[in-house]
Structure 1
Amino acid sequence: MFKLSEIKELIKLVDQSSLQELEIENEGARLLIRKPNKTESVLVTTAPVQQHAYAPVGQAGPVNQAPVAAVEVAAPQATAKQEDPSLHKIVSPMVGTFYSASSPGAASFVSVGSRVGDKTVVCIVEAMKLMNEIEAEVKGEIVEVLVENGQLVEYGQPLFLVKPE
């Protein structure tokens, strides 16, 4: 059986990733998390997975249908700033974990209002235990930080909005 905390964590991971669907079977329970059309659905069944005599070994037979709980959560709306074409988006060049500072106790590389040059390091994206410094690539002012420290980021995901000079 799945614990509520585990389900919440899986929903969070699927929401932050490019996955559209995740299905897991564990101890006779099946969990399906799906993101169709800007919403997230969670289906949980508690029916045991049954093997039938006519099913070859290693292949599951039909599953008894049990009551299903469904939860729909609307996806967050994009901010008006993200849609402003005059702003430059600094995007993640890889999948990884976003860090706003060089170490846990250090000050952030940049924050809203910081002035940056094209070679200014704005954050670190950790991928496979390698710390990759991300540079602004544009001269200007940080208008918005779009991700939180420690958040998983996807390839191409906007990290910062910069008002170019």
Structure 2
Amino acid sequence: MKQEQIKTLIDALAGSDLSELEFSENGSTLRLVKQSALGNARPRSAAASVRAAGERGVVKAGTKAAAKPAAAVVANECLAPLFGVVHLQSTPGEPPFVTVGQAVKAGQPLCVIEAMKVFNEVRAERDATVLEVLVASGQEVEAGQPMFRFATEG
């Protein structure tokens, strides 16, 4: 399965009323499950969130015994590290740091959180593709609140 094909399937699921999508090709199976279908329990920390997403297998790839395994795609969330006002672009009128569908590299800026007149840059922890932006520019966020959802190969 190619990355473009996986992205197309993710977009198709996101734009539909379905909660699950399974696709098989050449002995590989890709199963996509929307996060809301997995339950409403939220982990308490950023590390727990990433671990839980991986353990839940938000998106799994399985194979037949003789076939080569396909890389699993896992959904991860970027959580706000502190309370403050989120800014999705460097200055008003500028393009946002990231957009849905964009591939990001580890260390790339995602947004800025302003707290007590200090601007704290939030950066990507790993290479990924942006699935959702869960906050709006100018919105107050709580520490631990999900701000972005990503797809990563794991």
More helix by share: 2
Number of aligned positions between the proteins:
86
The aligned counterpart of 1:117 is 105
Superposition CA RMSD, Å: 1.4
Shift of 1:100: 0.3
Q: Matched residues in 2 for 1:89 and 1:116: separation?
A: 14
Greater radius of gyration (CA): 1
The aligned counterpart of 1:99 is 87
Identity %: 37
Shift of 1:117: 1.0
> Which SS does the other structure have where 1:87 is aligned?
strand
Q: Matched residues in 1 for 2:35 and 2:137: separation?
A: 20
The aligned counterpart of 2:141 is 153
Q: Matched residues in 1 for 2:103 and 2:130: separation?
A: 6
Mapped pair 1:126 → 2:95:
no
Q: Matched residues in 2 for 1:153 and 1:116: separation?
A: 22
Q: Which runs of 5+ in 1 are unaligned?
A: 1-79
Matches within 5 A, 1:15-34: none
Shift of 1:81: 3.6
From 127, 133, 143, the equivalent of 1:139 is: 127
* Counterpart residue type for residue 126 of structure 2: V
TM-score by length of 2: 0.53
